[in-house]
Amino acid sequence: MQIGELAQRAGVSHRTIHYYERIGLLKPAEREGAGYRYYDDTSYQRLEKIAALKRLGLSLDEIAAVIDLYFEDASGIKGKEKVLRILEAQIAKTDAQLTELTAFRRDLESNIARMKSLIDQARRTD
């Protein structure tokens, strides 16, 4: 299929397909005669897998690290295991950020209370 058909079928733009090729997520298309690019069902399947991995919250760099595993291992287990490790790392990072944000929120509340107290004191002395 040509790029237009692939783009329409996968619900992405031509530019997205070209970009994915440049960064290695999608294998470069076969070129024939007039230089037209032709894609096969594997290209469509890769675009579908990329979309699914993006929905899981993976970055394009993370997707690049796992996408080939899905196509090298018919069971998909290797790819799923790697995605699981990525998601577990994201949870750990999120938990750390939540801890930091909770502490920051407590500091903000303390600073707000202190500022209100200073304002009240200033009003009483006026």
Q: How far apart (Å, rounded) are the C-alpha atoms in residues 14 and 17? A: 5
DSSP letter at 36 equals E
pTM: 0.78
Q: How far apart (Å, rounded) are the C-alpha atoms in residues 122 and 126? A: 6
Q: What is the pLDDT of residue 37?
A: 82
Write out pLDDT tens, residues 29-68. 777 777 788 899 999 999 999 999 999 999 999 999 999 9
